[in-house]
Each structure stands twice: as C-alpha cells, then as structure tokens.
C-alpha cells in the first residue's frame, strides 16, 4: 500500500473525535459507480482471508475491496488510525433481510479487550442509502472504553444519544474495537448490505495522522465532550480514560488541559516542614 | 388452612417490566437508558427501537403507576480499579401487572 498523501490523513481534531466517540464517519466517500457494483459483489461473497494477512496481500483476489481500501480518503483514515500495512483480522458481509424480525443485542465484538495504548478499528461500508426503517447499525458514542465482554450489555435496549445510522450510499465509518453496537431490525422492504473489515495495527499507534493541529483548541473540546447516556459521575471517569488514550497516541504524557488525570496523580515528595522530635520515640537506657 | 397462590392462568395477570438507567443513584435522577419487556406478548420492544426515553426520571415512572422492585446496590470500586468504566451503575427495575 502506498503511503497516503498528507492531505488525506486525518487531522488531530478528527483523531480526538475518534478517541472521544469511538467512531469516525465519512459520508458518501465511496463513488457511485462502486456502490452500483457493490451489491452483486457482496452477494457473490468476498474470498476468505487468513487471520493476520497484511492488507496489501489480503484482497488480491477481490479487485473491488482493493479499490475500496485504496480510495484516498479511506486509505488516509486507515493509515491515521492503525498505521502503515495493518493486518486484516477478518472481514464479513452482513445482510439484514427485509422485514427481518430480530435486532442484535448491543455488544462489543470479539472478547473484552482492555488495551490502553493500542486499538483495532473496524471499517463498515454501506453501499446503499440507509433509512431509519432499514435498521442501520446502532452504536453508542463514547462506549468504547467501557470494560464489558461481548453481549453482556444485551440488557440495554436504548441509551440516550445513541446513533441509529441513517446515511447516504457510499458511507464508510470506522469504529474502535470496543464500541457497543448492533444490527437493528430491518422493517423495510429492502435487504440491507454492509461490508466490514477489522484491522490490527502492526506499529505503535503514535502520531500517525496529520499533526499540524495537534494543540488546536478544538482537540481539547472534542476530548472534553459529554454524552447524554453517561451517568454524572462515570462521565468524568470517561474523560480521565480518554486523556490516557490521547496521551498514548499523541506521545505527549503531559497533555491534560482540564486536569482530570493530573489532579489525582499529584503526590509531591518535597518536604518543607521543620523536622520534629518525638519525645516518646527517644531510646531509653537500660539500667 | 394453607392459602395457595393463584397461577397467572387463574388471575389473568402478566408482568410488564421496565428497566431504567439513571444519571445518579437517586430515583428522581434523569433517565439515560431504558429497556422494556412485555409479559403479555402484545408488544415486542427490542434493541435500538427508540430514541426517546419513556420517562424523564425514575420518579416519573412511579407517578405513572410502575412499582419499583429492584435497585442496584452502591458498591465501592475494587482497589486498583477506581477509574475503570464498565456497566451502567444505576439500574432500576419496575413492574406493572396487567
């Protein structure tokens, strides 16, 4: 895979948005001619890829997927999030049939994954216009740092501020591996298609994006945002954990504009009080 | 003489369950998440079927006739895990018998 042009890399503000929300959405980024072909390609199936295959080798038998991951904006986002030459964990075509009766439980993919200085991303491509009735993917902004295992969150049907995806054809979204999500019930007359690829990084995920705006005020604003479903107290812990992730990927272990981490790790060691003498501590002579 | 409980078939009653997740441990805190299960089988609530909570607060559910039957306990964090985030903490189960 060629190195994407700098102008197609994500900005720091976009990366901060991803760190805060666990998602990055690119509307209609795939051109119409590809969207027109996509349904037939996905119906026919994408050849299986062994776990851990380098991206540049993974889709040599699928011209369509190669074109998808080499679209400048898509390649730039992949590089910014997971770096050069990630490996393909797996891919899958998801089809929600017209009037399919069941929604998926809210879940995180794979198993509980508590890495604090690395993450996988999942590319999700929607070749059709997705309406609310078609049951576009449900995801919960800011849920990706919660330590839960797979569908143990299945009891949660609706969370305030959840995203029920409605998007134009050709939309791609990138999701952090931990985000709570699920395929919604399709109440429409149209089968809904989605193609997913999970990428594993092969380099340390530090400053892989266009860092020209690294200290832009909007970076801090993205990292400080709250979500309606957060409990008052836990919402503050979310910010603490976000700052740790931002420090890990920016390489700046002092970054903390709102002091969430600094305040609770401040343990000065310098002693300025006078020395005290404890009269009860004096050794007594044995007689 | 021992009284025997009536079966649902005899009473005709079924349980509807409402689960509310609140912004704090106070029952009158705002609703941040919700789930419903309908023992009558007449409705089929499911994941991602609504963006609007059924009530603004837990107290509003009481005012509308829901009976609280379980509230999550307040447990201190495990030592060393004080900053971890996981499941929603303030979970309240309500029922109606209909």
- Among the listed residues A27, A30, A39, the one whose alpha carbon sits nearest the alpha carbon of residue A191: A39
In a domain, A107, yes or no: yes
DSSP summary character for residue B23 = S
Nearest to B94 by CA among B73, B63, B70, B74: B70
Q: What is the pLDDT of residues B70-79, one digit of tens each?
A: 999 999 999 9
Domain that holds residue A181: 6-200
With cut-offs at 50, 70 and 90, classify the pLDDT of residue B5: low
Q: Where are the domains of chain B?
A: 13-73+86-97
- Among A123-137, A270-284, B6-20, name the one with the lowest average pLDDT: A270-284
pLDDT tens digits along B10-43: 788 999 999 999 999 999 999 999 999 999 999 9
From the list B32, B36, B89, which residue is nearest A159 (CB)? B32
pLDDT in tens, B45-55: 999 999 999 99
- At B2 the pLDDT is 54
Residues 6+ apart with CB under 8 A from A180: A106, A107, A108, A139, A140, A143, A144, A146, A148, A153, A156
Tokens of B21: 């997740």
Q: How many CB atoms lie within 10 A of CB A107?
A: 18
Q: For chain A, what is the domain count?
A: 1
Q: Is A236 a member of any domain?
A: no
A160 interaction partners in chain B (CB closer than 8 Å): 31-33, 51, 53
Within a domain: residue A181? yes
pLDDT score, position A100: 86
Does residue A104 lie within any of the structural domains? Answer: yes
Contact (CB<8Å) A159/B90: no
Torsion over CA: B69, B74, B78, B80 (sign): positive
In a domain, A42, yes or no: yes
pTM, to two decimals: 0.94
In a mutational test of the B interface, the residue from A158, A187, A243 whose CB has the highest number of chain B CBs within 10 Å is A158
Q: Coil, helix or strand for A37?
A: helix
Q: What is the pLDDT of residue A2?
A: 78
Helix (H, G, I), strand (E, B) or coil at B29: coil
**In this structure, what CATH number is given to the domain that contains residue A175?**
2.60.120.620
Q: ipTM of the assembly?
A: 0.93
A11 is a domain residue:
yes
């Amino acid at each position: 895979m060629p190195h994407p042009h700098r102008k197609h890399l994500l900005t720091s503000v976009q990366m901060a948005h991803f760190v805060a929300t666990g998602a990055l959405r690119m509307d209609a980024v795939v051109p119409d001619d590809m969207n027109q072909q996509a349904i037939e390609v996905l119906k026919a199936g994408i050849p299986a890829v062994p776990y851990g295959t380098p991206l540049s080798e993974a889709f040599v038998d699928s011209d369509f997927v190669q074109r998808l991951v080499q679209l400048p904006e898509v390649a730039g986002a992949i590089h910014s999030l997971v770096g050069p030459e990630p490996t393909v964990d797996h891919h899958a075509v998801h089809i929600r049939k017209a009037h399919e009766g069941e929604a998926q439980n809210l879940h995180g993919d794979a198993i509980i994954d508590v890495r604090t200085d690395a993450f996988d991303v999942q590319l999700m491509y929607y070749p059709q216009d997705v309406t609310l009735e078609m049951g576009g993917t449900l995801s919960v902004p800011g849920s990706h740092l919660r330590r839960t295992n797979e569908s143990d969150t299945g009891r949660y049907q609706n969370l305030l501020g959840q995203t029920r995806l409605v998007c134009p054809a050709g939309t791609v979204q990138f999701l952090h591996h931990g985000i709570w999500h699920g395929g919604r019930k399709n109440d429409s007359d149209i089968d809904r298609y989605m193609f997913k690829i999970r990428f594993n990084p092969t380099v340390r995920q530090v400053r892989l994006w266009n860092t020209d705006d690294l200290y832009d005020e909007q970076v801090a604003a993205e990292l400080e945002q709250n979500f309606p479903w957060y409990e008052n107290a836990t919402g503050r812990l979310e910010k603490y954990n976000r700052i740790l992730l931002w420090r890990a990927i920016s390489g700046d272990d002092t970054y903390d504009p709102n002091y969430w981490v600094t305040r609770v790790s401040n343990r000065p060691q310098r002693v300025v009080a006078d020395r005290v003498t404890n009269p009860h501590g004096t050794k007594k002579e044995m007689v | 003489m021992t009284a025997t409980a009536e079966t649902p078939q005899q009473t005709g009653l079924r349980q509807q369950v409402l689960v509310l997740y609140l912004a704090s441990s106070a029952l009158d805190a705002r609703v941040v998440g919700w789930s419903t299960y309908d023992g009558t089988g007449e409705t089929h609530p499911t994941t991602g079927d609504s963006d609007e909570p059924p009530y603004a607060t837990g107290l509003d559910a009481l005012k509308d006739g829901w009976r609280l039957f379980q509230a999550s306990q307040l447990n201190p964090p495990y030592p060393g895990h004080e900053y971890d985030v996981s499941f929603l903490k303030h979970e309240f189960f309500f029922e109606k018998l209909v």
